């Protein structure tokens, strides 16, 4: 699978050699090509009325996919960057199913015992003192609530290594160690993303 994706990526940007490249621009491929947002959200098995948080929502890429998956539910778009919060409010402020949340580096700012699923895409590696952070996040989850972590795969080989910024990765083993130390249990892994790990953990 990843070999095929690598060939397609190289062809898409006209790459004929790797010398001199430390990173390639994924935006030239179209994010849906490698992020597979529809598949990511479908794999979460969300239901109408669910409450889901996009932690580190950025510009809101996943928000439309999540809102379609939880009719009559709520999507919390969590950010700590003031400019991104402003952008999110401008884009989704009129959507009754979306609530923009101004989080803190040590607290996402979600309502207690209210969230069914927290989705974290390309953000887990940025969080400092992750064990304490996710221990605190358990307060915000309903019993059995899940945390879905999507982050760069440090075990990529060959040309695929060029598609991720150095240091913006997190191994499955480290995620497992940290999440279990924070009191979560392993739920499942997904292998369909060509550039990223996708791990799901559940609260007690």
pLDDT digits (tens, 9 = 90+) for 121-136: 999 999 999 999 999 9
pLDDT of 166 reads 60
Enter the tokens of residue 9: 């990526």
Name the residue ranges covered by the structural domains of the chain. 2-202
**Collapsing DSSP states into helix, strand and coil, what is residue 19?**
coil
Q: Which CATH architecture has domain 2-202?
A: 3-Layer(aba) Sandwich (3.40)
Residues 155 and 132: their CA atoms lie apart, in Å, by 26
**Exposed (0-12), middle (13-18) or buried (19+): which is 89, by Cβ within 10 Å?**
middle
pLDDT of 163 reads 59
Give, for all 204 residues of the chain, the pLDDT tens digit.
544 544 444 444 333 333 333 344 554 568 898 899 999 999 999 999 999 999 999 999 999 999 999 999 999 999 999 999 999 999 999 999 999 999 999 999 999 999 999 999 999 999 999 999 999 999 999 999 999 999 999 887 555 555 555 656 889 999 999 999 999 999 999 999 999 999 999 998
Enter the tokens of residue 92: 């989704």
**Residue 51, strand partner residues:** 74
pLDDT of 169 reads 82
Residue 36 near residue 61 (C-beta atoms within 8 A): no
Residue 193 near residue 150 (C-beta atoms within 8 A): yes
Residues 190 and 193: their CA atoms lie apart, in Å, by 8
**In the Cβ-directed half-sphere of 129, how many Cα atoms lie within 13 Å?**
9
Start-to-end CA span in the chain (Å): 34
Residues 153 and 140: their CA atoms lie apart, in Å, by 28
Closest among 74, 79, 104, 106 to 90, alpha carbons compared: 79
Residue 159 near residue 9 (C-beta atoms within 8 A): yes
Q: What is the pTM of this model?
A: 0.84
């Amino acid at each position: 699978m990843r070999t095929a994706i690598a060939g397609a990526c190289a062809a898409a940007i006209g790459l004929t050699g790797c010398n001199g490249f430390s990173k390639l621009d994924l935006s030239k491929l179209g994010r849906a090509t490698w992020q597979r947002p529809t598949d990511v959200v479908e794999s979460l098995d969300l239901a109408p009325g669910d409450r889901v948080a996009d932690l580190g929502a950025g510009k809101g890429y996943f928000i439309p996919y999540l809102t379609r998956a939880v009719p009559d539910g709520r999507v919390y778009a969590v950010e700590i960057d003031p400019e991104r919060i402003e952008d999110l409010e401008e884009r989704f402020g009129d959507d009754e199913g979306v609530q923009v949340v101004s989080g803190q580096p040590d607290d996402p700012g979600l309502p207690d015992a209210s969230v069914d699923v927290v989705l974290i895409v390309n953000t887990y590696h940025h969080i400092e003192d992750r064990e304490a952070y996710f221990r605190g996040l358990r307060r915000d989850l309903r019993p059995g609530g899940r945390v879905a972590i999507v982050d760069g795969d440090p075990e990529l080989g060959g040309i695929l290594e060029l598609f991720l910024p150095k240091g913006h990765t997190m191994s499955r083993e480290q995620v497992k160690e940290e999440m279990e130390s924070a009191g979560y249990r392993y739920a499942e892994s997904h292998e369909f993303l060509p550039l990223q790990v996708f791990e799901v953990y559940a609260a007690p």
